[in-house]
Structure 1
């Protein structure tokens, strides 16, 4: 294995030289757990943590390493290391943290392709596909839809599902896979050396099985199939980066119950480009596309140019985005007020001493 197999490139090397990080080793974060990280090089894996200065100056989640990050570190024991710097990220796949209205959860960084996995037997849901597409488009990561477990349905059912997707989602590659022999060949052909692929999807859609098939060995445990819900019991509990035999890199994720949208709008605009296109012809510039007379989007929905369900899903995500923005601003204000209060208390204590 080489650094290039792990995704290292000339841009990262240039940054390393410019920042004077040549005396430190370079590695990629392959898993994280409560501010402890496993950092991989072509020959070793290190149990790493941040140096104090990095930890104390961190202002947000973005200042901490995430799975997929490149870091400069110093080894201090046989398998232990201290992280001194995080390299700039090429892409960040993120979502609104489950249950926390204004917090962001980083799913993975430096990703080239998002593999959106859905099982065709039970999990299939176009609304959710559009959510994952929005997350990928926001991160400027190329999405690929992977329909899994196609051996569990018949050809007409699969044809219906493919048509449903194509009606609402244009120009996104769709791959079908199954547990049958050679069922993953289509996907294997896509994997390029040095590129990073992030698996996205709910619990039980077969992400771990896909990783095992691509790697040719049991990298991830897969639970036995539950006859009641027809799904493998979900076993992935944290994010993990795995090197594939052909030099590709894949990141597995715990299944997501919620796919919350953050405050970045460009992902929505790419996913729902037909709506954006029609909105150029709206009578009012600040049209909300919900009730206005002269709204070109509503007109397009009524005459069948825009899919009704896709339009409804778009409005739902726009509301979420607005809510996220409002709560994030509120939190910022609270944090600012708290900061002012702490400064005041410190000042009073100082004056009190004198």
Structure 2
């Protein structure tokens, strides 16, 4: 069956941009996979291995200026297998985290995402603090989260209910669905949430069942699945790159490598949404620069003391707030250095020209 761009989520707004920015001579496609700055782009004509132009590489100021899975791109095709990416069309959302081991740098998870399926395994991976990290990333990107708890067949109903209630006590207005690949529990409910033309991104650690979930949704073994190591309880490395897949019902799903670290990057709006109750109370603190750690007249500390705010949620908020502040200051410091270096090079070139006159 021939696939149209609309099946991949292409919109009238993107088509208007293509026309207004004189990109009529290029094919439009969506990046469906990424392998270390090599990309797979799907167009109405087929799939191509793709690279960016030298100009795009030279003009890039950071990782966000490179294509990512989910991007719509303008390409020129030169043979049946190779395409060159000339432009990235506007993104309506960008899921990103702090790059592992590179503080102040971001890593793009995926772009143009409508919903994030945050996947945790009920038997070993379940961690509300980590859930709040994923939620913060989603809220910062204006992506709607859905929490998926896998391996429900390994627990009894009472245990599942207790876990779901513990999540809902700290996380408001986010769907929580417990599923099982063995019994098919929860799949009917989840399938109802997946809509044609909308893009869903799977987020979670290795071994929580993301690839098994994707296989079950698609009705096909589209991603390899790996066993859990009994000694380490960590999933074997089975998904080494991001990949976009269109489901039979028209939903579009992006799978991701498992994330061991979920660093917060520029998530001011994300933290405010995830911890809206804490942020709202903070407005009533006696001091405007209250750190909510020891100050008199701190509404947040008073609420924690009364049990109105979960202590673990409060501590997680403080940890991520410190992380966000450190990230922001690191980015500002790096930009200051880059600006100084740019001025130095400009002055140097001016001196060289002057001496050559």
TM-score by length of 1: 0.96
The answer on whether the counterparts of 1:94 and 1:135 sit within 8 Å (CA) in structure 2 is yes
Where does residue 177 of structure 1 map in the other structure?
A: 179
1:279 Cα deviation from its structure 2 partner: 1.5
1:171 Cα deviation from its structure 2 partner: 0.9
Where does residue 313 of structure 1 map in the other structure?
A: 316
Where does residue 266 of structure 2 map in the other structure?
A: 263
Q: What is the distance in 1 between the residues matched to 2:44 and 2:148?
A: 29
One of 107, 112, 115 as aligned partner of 1:113 = 115
1:32 Cα deviation from its structure 2 partner: 1.6
1:297 aligns with 2:300: yes
- Cα deviation per residue 1:276-326 (whole Å; 9 max; x = unaligned)? 121222122222212211111111111111111100000000000111011
The answer on whether the counterparts of 2:207 and 2:227 sit within 8 Å (CA) in structure 1 is no
One of 201, 210, 213 as aligned partner of 1:210 = 213
**Structure 1 residue matching 2:244: 3-state secondary structure:** strand
One of 246, 251, 254 as aligned partner of 1:248 = 251
Q: What is the distance in 2 between the residues matched to 1:67 and 1:333?
A: 30
| Farther off after superposition, 122-131 or 324-333 | 324-333
| Farther off after superposition, 263-272 or 38-47 | 38-47
Distance 1:42-1:177 versus aligned 2 partners, 3 A rule: farther
- Cα deviation per residue 1:48-83 (whole Å; 9 max; x = unaligned)? 111222222121212111110001111111121111
- Cα deviation per residue 1:103-146 (whole Å; 9 max; x = unaligned)? 00010000000110000000000000000000000000000000
TM-score by length of 2: 0.95
| Farther off after superposition, 162-171 or 133-142 | 162-171
**Structure 2 residue matching 1:180: 3-state secondary structure:** coil
1:13 Cα deviation from its structure 2 partner: 1.0
| Root-mean-square deviation over aligned CA pairs | 1.5
1:346 Cα deviation from its structure 2 partner: 3.1
- Cα deviation per residue 1:11-56 (whole Å; 9 max; x = unaligned)? 1111111112122110000112222211002440011111222222
Where does residue 29 of structure 1 map in the other structure?
A: 31
Where does residue 99 of structure 1 map in the other structure?
A: 101
The answer on whether the counterparts of 1:193 and 1:246 sit within 8 Å (CA) in structure 2 is yes
Where does residue 129 of structure 2 map in the other structure?
A: 127
- List gaps (5 residues or longer) in structure 2: none
Q: What is the distance in 2 between the residues matched to 1:273 and 1:349?
A: 56
Q: What is the distance in 2 between the residues matched to 1:148 and 1:134?
A: 21
1:1-354 aligned within 5 A: 1-183=3-185, 184-229=187-232, 232-354=235-357
- How many residues align? The count is 354
The answer on whether the counterparts of 1:177 and 1:186 sit within 8 Å (CA) in structure 2 is no
The answer on whether the counterparts of 1:31 and 1:239 sit within 8 Å (CA) in structure 2 is yes
Q: What is the distance in 2 between the residues matched to 1:252 and 1:132?
A: 15
- List gaps (5 residues or longer) in structure 1: none
Q: What is the distance in 2 between the residues matched to 1:34 and 1:230?
A: 28
The answer on whether the counterparts of 2:96 and 2:106 sit within 8 Å (CA) in structure 1 is yes
